Structure 1
Amino acid sequence: LVSSYCIMEDPPEGYVVSVGSSDPHGDLQSSAQQFRAQRILNFPFEQHPVGILKTPQPIMYSETVQPMCIASVPLPDEHACIMGVVTKGGLMTLRHVQMLYESDCQELAQGLSSYLCAKVKEIDAEVAETLGMDPELDIYPFSAPLDFDISGVKAGSLETPLFCLTNEHPTWSVYGFALNAYNVTDPESPILFSDVSSDLEAIKQHSDVTYQEWVQSMLAKRS
């Protein structure tokens, strides 16, 4: 499961997926397992800003490769969360995320059918970089989001996952992907996230498709 923006293109050779790096502070590729993956599905962005990749062979779980739950309900109240990784070293940092009313992100969410709105209490340069602010800028605060625009939604980063723990579900779960923010240097500024729980039915419907079934469907379409 990935952010829709990550797989907008659908190259014939597919994508390379890296998992299970045991050295997040060094060369990520040296300790990661790499797999070829094909895009099974990329939902219409306004409906479900997520997509699904499939590998030809199953990815085996290990000490450094673990399953991740997908949230079945929106994130309530305030919780400890991990929001993506910083560019250098891939370090995930614990943050306290406070949920806000949807109306607080209404201007950011033009075109989206469902979304989460939240603020991150520990705002710093790492959060700015995680949300797609230009890491080459040697200034703080970062003020220049990366430049792209999908369906009218101008985003800082459409690829940063939000993982959280809750009392009701004490297992790390993915709740959404960061989409946009008014000002990531302000702890009171709302941040817009996609709502994975609202996508769950569609995800379940298509995630059962095996790689082999997908190949057969592609061959049938071509013939």
Structure 2
Amino acid sequence: MSSVVVTGASSGIGEAIARRFLADGWSVLTGSRSTPDLDNAEWLRTDVAHPAQADALVAAAVEQFGSLDAVVNNAGVQVDKTVADTTDEEFDHVMDVNVRGVFNMCRAGVRQMAGQPGGGVIINIASVAATHADAGMAVYNASKGAVEALTRAIAVDHGHQGVRCVAVSPGWIATALADAVFDLQADPAAARSEAIGRHPVGRLGTPDDVAEVVAWLAGPAAGFISGSVFTVDGGLTAQSPIG
């Protein structure tokens, strides 16, 4: 049976990813600061920004499952501010979770996978904000750009050791994080309607849309894919901004 660690699985995209792996018969260990509502999945309280806790999460998976086939780095936070309004503390918080946390989990994952038969795959959840900046989310945009760059570096440096590394960059997904952005607008309902109207497919994404891609990338059919970024945004960023 294959095994996976999923961070940030207490809600939204991370929860959907964990549920999809469980449905596919994987052994699942989740790591987050709050308890997830997941049957048949193990959980370890984890703050990925702390290297020792990231190491402990990977070690716990190996102890329970015997090896570790995949790591999905989904844990993330956002601050809805421009660079001029962002405080030092807010910058540190976003970078600690979104960049340092992903780095910590990738390092722990690579060290384990590089020394085990069959290697493994690391899937980092980035965002279309890495290449198409969301207004008023300066540090979040920067953090997701770093995630995509780190993904490519790991793929190049550790492919010969059997470690694949890929990124999935969702667009507007119907989660609590998206709701928080809409709620900041003068007319949240109108803002949501406008956002939906910008999508060629005519809707926002769902956490399951992202989970489907992640599950495929973790499987044998994607064995020759590494260093790539997969955009899951309903065509939002494919279109010309003038139209």
State the TM-score, normalizing by the size of structure 1. Answer: 0.26
More strand by share: 1
TM-score using structure 2 length: 0.24
Structure in which a larger fraction of residues adopt helix: 2
